[in-house]
Amino acid sequence: MYPTALTQLARANPFSAPLFSLQKVEEPQHSLHGQKPRRLAAAATADDSCEFGSQKYFYYALCGFGGILSCGITHTAVVPLDLVKCRLQVDPDKYKSIGNGFAVTVREDGVRGLAKGWAPTFIGYSMQGLCKFGFYEVFKIFYSDLLGEENTYLWRTSLYLAASASAEFFADVALAPMEAVKVRIQTQPGYANTLRQCVPKMFAEEGIWAFYKGVVPLWMRQIPYTMMKFACFERTVEMLYKYVVPKPRSDCSKSEQLVVTFVAGYIGVWKGLVARIIMIGTLTALQWFIYDSVKVYFRLPRPPPPEMPESLKKKLGLTE
């Protein structure tokens, strides 16, 4: 079950059999606090487990690779819309609406002008995705180990919030330089047309600070959004399997599980204006779909929805 020794997930051989079952895993006789942790882990068979070492970091690396694809591809795909949005915010007198913004941009720069900033967008958001999803897995395991099995279940929403906030902090540091370049290209016509032109020019004029002076606004914007995005997704997946999907996740095919992932990604951001729901909802759902598809492709351990630990059920008198 999910609120278990998440560390063991990273020890499973990612290229082993694709179906993972729940079983007891013997833990080392020591821990950071000098006590033997008592947890359950998701693993396939005894042949799939390996000692602490390179396989664990390989798991994190593949999660990060999934993040690169999910964020890099989706954000690059909406560069034209992002360009017009930025110009609307910077020069509302010239760009009066989204439709007008597209028309003015095409008239002045041609259709290719709509792709301005695609390179820093792809690089920047790929780096953000690497850190966002990769570090989310790291911090989720780290905080779960600190809380223990029962508290991980009871405080799982807080765990998701803390892990995603921690991950996004570093993700925005990775994103900030390319985001600064993208905004400069898109909002200052004539300054630079390409990444290769813009980076040396910004560095010569303002130094290294030119690439990081926007990191605080990024934190203020992205950290709350990412906390909502990950926590809502995790809890929505849990609710879908509990109340909507007519069978346990272990009985669902990989395709069925990916459909649940996409639906959960969409439901998780069902707030705000209709246009924003369509754009951000689709973007977020596609990010989760791509990320989970990478996990499926590489046969990475994917823990089932959380269940109350047996020890907690006994304390609450829910079992005989």
pLDDT tens digit string along 164-190? 999 999 999 999 999 999 999 999 988
- Which pLDDT band, with edges at 50, 70 and 90, does 14 fall under? very low
Q: What is the pLDDT of residue 158?
A: 95
- Give, as one character, the DSSP assignment of residue 243: I
Query: What per-residue confidence (pLDDT) applies to 105?
Result: 93
Range in 16-20, 136-140, 179-183, 231-235 the model is least confident about: 16-20
Helix-strand-coil split of the chain, %, nearest 5: 70, 0, 30
**Residue 64 to residues 14, 145, 246, 313, Cα–Cα distance (Å):** 14, 21, 32, 35
pLDDT of residue 309: 85
Q: Are 284 and 266 in contact (CB under 8 A)?
A: yes
In sequence order, the β-bridge partners of residue 40 are 24
Mean pLDDT of 209-222: 94
Q: What SS3 state is found at 110?
A: coil
**Region of poorest pLDDT, from 150-159, 200-209, 224-233, 248-257:** 248-257
pLDDT, the chain, mean:
79
- With beta carbons less than 8 A apart as the criterion, state whether 106 and 113 touch: yes
CA distances in angstroms from 120 to 143, 177, 207, 298, listed in the order given: 33, 9, 18, 28
The partner residues of 42 in beta bridges, in order of sequence, read: 22
Least confident range of 114-118, 174-178, 192-196, 305-309: 305-309
Inform me whether the pLDDT recorded for 43 exceeds 70: no
What percent of the chain is predicted at pLDDT more than 90? Answer: 43
Q: Which amino acid makes up residue 244? A: V
- The whole-angstrom separation of Cα 42 and Cα 161 is 22
Rounded to an integer, the average pLDDT of 291-308 is 79
259-293 as b/e, with b when 16 or more CB fall inside 10 Å? ebbbbbbbbbbeeeeeeeeebbbbbbbbbbbbbbb
Which of the given ranges, 10-14, 93-97, 206-210, has the highest pLDDT on average?
A: 206-210
pLDDT of residue 44: 41
pTM of the model: 0.74
Q: Mean pLDDT check: name the lowest of 108-117, 171-180, 211-220, 246-255.
A: 246-255
Residue 10 and residue 172: Cα distance in Å, rounded? 25
- Confidence tier at 305 by pLDDT (50, 70, 90): confident
Is pLDDT above 60 for 276? no
pLDDT at 130: 95
DSSP state at residue 244: I
| CA pair distance 302, 309, nearest whole angstrom | 18
> What one-character DSSP code corresponds to residue 43?
E
Q: Does residue 108 surpass a pLDDT of 80?
A: yes
Q: Report pLDDT digits (tens) over 45-75.
A: 333 333 323 456 677 788 889 899 999 999 9
pLDDT of 25 reads 38
